[in-house]
Amino acid sequence: MNKIWTIGAVLTWTQQFFQQKGKETPRLDAEILLAHVLHKERIYLYAHYDEPLNAEELAQYRQYIQQRAGGYSVAHIVGKKAFMGLDFFVSQDVLIPRPETELLVEYVVAHMGMEDSLHILDIGTGSGAILLSLLYYLPKATGVGVDISSAALAVAKKNALQLGVDKRVTWQQRDLCTAMPAQMFSIIVSNPPYLTAEDMKHLSPEVQYDPAGALFGGTDGLDFYRRLAIETPAYLNASGLCIVEIGKGQEKAVRQLFEWSQEYVLIEVIKDYSDISRHMVFRKE
């Protein structure tokens, strides 16, 4: 890039560059990164298509382009990610929220939204995206977010403040339910690590910058489901729901683990946008 570069010219060049690099959403990536440089909404780019960028803006944008080409996700570069229509702060200390995880939140809101006293436990909360979205859309609900990572909990606390739900949530640093104080919940949700040892050898460039602890679920990807099936019933009300996200092809094994405990019965499987079983809804018997 040199001389005078307008917003429109920069977007066109970047889109073509990202296409050559095999990025799935080259135009969207270009727009989000440039809007972040300019501290504007994306709509601003089209209302000011012929506006030139100054040298400082171009330098910052070049850096972002290089990072994206090198495998960093857009969310990692700009430090935020949209989820359930809300903006969440993210960092390399947390898993970047995925669109398919929104289906879990939508299910709870649709099926439990009329209840007055929901108390929700989110195990492996990370950025807090699941729990905080639920609290945002269920204004009478309260929640507890658990994570083994203090750095992840710091991000979650920041998001809670930004969304204005910090008075209805508490955070606990612990390994799943280990040594958790006695309390009962209406719903337990979790998007645990579920990648296998083989999966970890073939991560996409973007996923490689997510924390390994939020990805690796043991040799067969099922380590955390084994523990969830055993540890969670003691904290769930009778007929309460435990909803977990799963990896591709794990439905049968996860069902066996939860029903083997004789505490849970499977009531629904939620398919994602690719018709893959993505979330499993268990009810405590």
Strand ranges (DSSP E) for 42-149? 80-83, 86-89, 119-123, 142-147
Q: Binding site for S-adenosyl-L-methionine: what residues are annotated?
A: 124-128, 147, 191
User: What digits encode the pLDDT tens for the residues 139-160?
Assistant: 999 999 999 999 999 999 999 9
How confident is the model over 100-117, as a mean pLDDT?
Answer: 90
- Identify the weakest region by mean pLDDT among 93-102, 183-192, 195-204, 233-242: 195-204
How confident is the model over 61-76, as a mean pLDDT?
Answer: 93
Q: Kindly indicate the confidence band of residue 179, based on its pLDDT and cuts at 50, 70 and 90.
A: confident
Spatial distance between the Cα atoms of 187 and 99, rounded to a whole number of angstroms? 21
Q: Binding site for substrate: what residues are annotated?
A: 191-194
Q: What percent of the chain is modeled with pLDDT above 90?
A: 86
pLDDT of residue 1: 45
CA 5 to chain centre: 35
Strand ranges (DSSP E) for the chain? 80-83, 86-89, 119-123, 142-147, 169-173, 185-190, 236-245, 264-271, 277-284
CA distances from 261 to 68, 183, 204, 258, 280 (A): 45, 20, 35, 6, 16
Residues 6+ apart with CB under 8 A from 148: 124, 173, 174, 175, 176, 213
For residue 117, pLDDT beyond 80: yes
- Sheet containing 264-271: give its strands across: 169-173, 142-147, 119-123, 185-190, 236-245, 277-284, 264-271
Averaged pLDDT of the chain: 94
Q: Binding site: what residues are annotated?
A: 124-128, 147, 191-194
| Other C-beta atoms lying within 10 Å of the C-beta of residue 10 | 23
3-state secondary structure of 184: coil
For residue 115, pLDDT beyond 80: no
pLDDT of residue 185: 96
pLDDT of residue 172: 96
How confident is the model over 95-112, as a mean pLDDT?
Answer: 95
127 neighbors 97 (Cβ within 8 angstroms): yes
Third-level CATH fold of 94-284: Rossmann fold (3.40.50)
Residue with tokens 């989820």: 83
CA distances from 278 to 3, 109, 252 (A): 49, 17, 12
- Inter-axis angle of helices 7-20 and 26-38, to 10 degrees? 140
| Other C-beta atoms lying within 10 Å of the C-beta of residue 25 | 12
3-state secondary structure of 244: strand
- Identify the weakest region by mean pLDDT among 202-206, 236-240, 242-246: 202-206
| Amino acid (1-letter code) at residue 131 | L
Q: What percent of the chain is modeled with pLDDT above 70?
A: 99
User: What digits encode the pLDDT tens for the residues 21-66?
Assistant: 999 899 999 999 999 999 999 999 999 999 999 999 999 999 999 9
Q: Kindly indicate the confidence band of residue 2, based on its pLDDT and cuts at 50, 70 and 90.
A: low
Spatial distance between the Cα atoms of 70 and 57, rounded to a whole number of angstroms? 20
CATH 3.40.50.150 region(s) of the chain?
94-284
Spatial distance between the Cα atoms of 210 and 117, rounded to a whole number of angstroms? 34
Spatial distance between the Cα atoms of 82 and 138, rounded to a whole number of angstroms? 18
CATH 1.10.8.10 region(s) of the chain?
7-70
CATH class of segment(s) 7-70: mainly alpha
3-state secondary structure of 15: helix
